[in-house]
Structure 1
Amino acid sequence: MLGRQRIQLKTADQIRTMRRAGLVVAEGLEEMGRAAVPGATTGDLDRIGRQVLARHGATSNFLHYGADWGIQPYPGVACISVNEVVVHGMPGERELRDGDIVSIDYGAIVDGWHGDAARTFLVGEVSQEARLLSERTREAMWAGIRQIAPGHRIGDVSAAVQASLESWERPYGIIREYTGHGIGTEMHMDPDVPNWGRAGRGPRISTGMCLCVEPMATLGSEENDVLDDDWTVRTVDGSWASHWENTVAVTEGGLWVLTEPDGGKAELEAGGAVFAPLD
């Protein structure tokens, strides 16, 4: 994004504040996910996200994003992307139907520090193909997260995400134009964290870094385009897409997933990574 210059390292207290923002994000996603039922609109979900922010005295890092770029400022507090929409779906009157999948990307700012995460939710009775797309995108996110460690490189994270999505007999399209990112006093900061790449390449990971890992995968081609609203990204072939994301802090002892209620303990330890919260 515009204006990024260098990788920001955080103190322990700053990471603790980001954890507060991350817990607001986790709560909002949980509540929006429960409301993602047949008949609900994407605007209904966005309203729930606004209520969670207000309840905690947090502000949105999505609302009015892009106002300085000469494009339409983003109108919601969550990006709500249904089926063929990959990312940046704008909340409105689109009604969810039984069998849909909906990816919700949501963020919060607490005392100037940001949290950001995304989940794909299943609406009603969903096909096995769509269910597996979401689960395998989620698995790819965790594969990437487990490669975050001091001394590793960003390319190690990217390669792990790619390898996870390419490990299945059924091929998945990996979206390449949109990446994970650093996060801190801004939502999008250096370094970019691509969802594909070569291990051993890119910036070296250090204690105090906070990164968002966010794979986006499709059931078909990775080709995508942006609608005239300046935001909505959809697949060209109409294939469905899934999006998962977490904000991860590199602490002195290991990792703390700031946007997971348990801090990522279960998933990190299951994959051999070190869970090291700062509470």
Structure 2
Amino acid sequence: MTDEGIQLAAAMAWPRRGGFWRRFLASFIDYLVVLIPLYFLAAGLFALTDGGVKGHFWLFLRICMSAKVHGGPSLERYDWQVCRSSLFGFPVANWAVGTAKETQSAKPETVSIDLNSKGNFRPAALDLGFLQVPALAIYLLLMEMASGQSVGKQALVLVVYDENDWQRRGLPLQKAFRRQVIKFLGAFPLVLTGAWSVFQTWGSVPGPAPSYSWLEIVTAFVAFGLALIWPLWIGISIALGNEPIHDRLAGTTVRTRETHE
């Protein structure tokens, strides 16, 4: 058999690639698998600390309504919107946004404060929302090392294979780690920016909404833009039938369990 024939036979032995929608649904399931435990962790800590720990997570229902905030005369000069973020009826964040009733400036002064369970203001709570991406990356790393499959991939009949040994069960540590780092590379700047902001404001007292320098605005804009562009690029690569960048650089491939005849 010629070299071309050997290469063709090897290619035909591979299971077919997982398509865009199958991989997208698997990723969504995996996000829920990580989000739900994080939610219950934040909800429990929110209740135990009387609002001292909170969690702003994606997909959570947020309800805001006009209300009165208790905490002294200084708060009475604002019109308040009290907001609550919850899922399954358990709150994970309770805060209020106030707009000054009387102001001389063109842009009304605003203030955002965290509230306890009774609706009274408190020092800024610790927001666990920045843990979503790191927790998801660690979960995928461990699952793909163990079996090449996360819960979402098991549900959609997908497997992450080592390109050098597709019969191996699970990925080597080096490849699994490289794969997750590159996959979430676009989100890391936004996660770091969010974590820095969370720990900077944690325990601070209520005050006017801060004004940001041009450098901080540009940095946040670049981080947010990269967090959008990176997964979009990955999704386009998969939709076009190509290996995305994290699989190319890690030496891995995502395939179905169905084999060619």
Q: For the superposition of Structure 1 and Structure 2, which TM-score range results when normalised by the shorter chain?
A: under 0.3
* Structure 1 or 2: more helix by fraction: 2
Give the alignment's TM-score, normalised by structure 2: 0.24
